[in-house]
Amino acid sequence: MNNKDLISIFDLEPVDIFKILTVSGELKKGKEKDSLPLKGKVVGMIFQKPSTRTRVSFEVGVYQLGGCAIFLNAQDLQLKRGESIKDTAKALSRYLDGIVIRAYAHEDVMELASYSTIPVINGLTDLLHPCQVISDVFTIMEKKNIDCSGQNISGFANIKVVYIGDGNNVANSWMNMASKLGMELVICVPEGYEPDNSILNQCVELKKETNTKISISHVPGEAVKNADVIYTDVWKSMGNKDGRKINKEDFQSFRVNSELLSGAGKDVIVMHCLPAHRGEEITDEVMDGSCSVVFDQAENRLHVQKAIMEILFK
């Protein structure tokens, strides 16, 4: 890829995204069993936040690729005692072959990457969640039978994704992805819960090149019309330190339920990045229903992150 690190989808070119998707498909079929591309490699995993899917999928992925993962609880590092990110990055670069970091402040991840001589992967910040959305696109590619072998974004041009809920880090990364692949994206949120405006402005500039349709809606029933994908997330992202207050009453009409689903396209699929607060942003009948691909989506985190590590760390 063009970059040493994966911090934001916005830093990737479509060719980089297609390479990740292609390698993900190969790895899902078991390619690494023969090659073990990370044999002898050690990956450090710095986590400031709790995690299920990100931590487990990355650790399992490193193991399946032949490498070794070291979990580094941020509370146990000297960062807790005041060591600078710069010095931490320089020291870890002498020991490790790559770093996965899950942090609060996006600026901390950028600083770590800038001083590291080894690749850094953003496992989530309060601003962005790139690995999640790349794996989401891989899932959509599978479920909608999109052929990306020719590295042509036209396969995604007829896909309408409707994100419903809070304009959080996942929504921000979805705007980045849509602007790269020319997808139609509707971010449907209550008034006052819109995604990051600076990222939206960046995407507005880029979408002119890819004919992307990105819009903000406040009316779920209208937003889901002809949707190919309905996507939701918790109404308050885990561990955010941005000071925002969430009033659940503002979100009551933004619950993904069977009534909302009935207004979407006939072949609509439902996605959720998990963990889910069942009964809040999504009902049991939808999450466990025939349209849900939530757990296929969760599985694909493993395959896509393996592909990212193979490309960056080998």
- Report the catalytic residues: 102, 129, 132, 233, 273, 301
Dist CA 276 CA 296 (whole Å): 15
Q: For residue 54, which amino acid is it?
A: T
Contact 54, 102 (CB under 8 A): yes
Spatial CB neighbours of 305, under 8 Å, sequence gap ≥ 6? 57, 58, 61, 121, 131, 135
Q: Which tokens hold the place of 169?
A: 């880090």
Look at the chain and count its residues. 314
Dist CA 41 CA 209 (whole Å): 39
Spatial CB neighbours of 303, under 8 Å, sequence gap ≥ 6? 24, 25, 27, 28, 135, 138
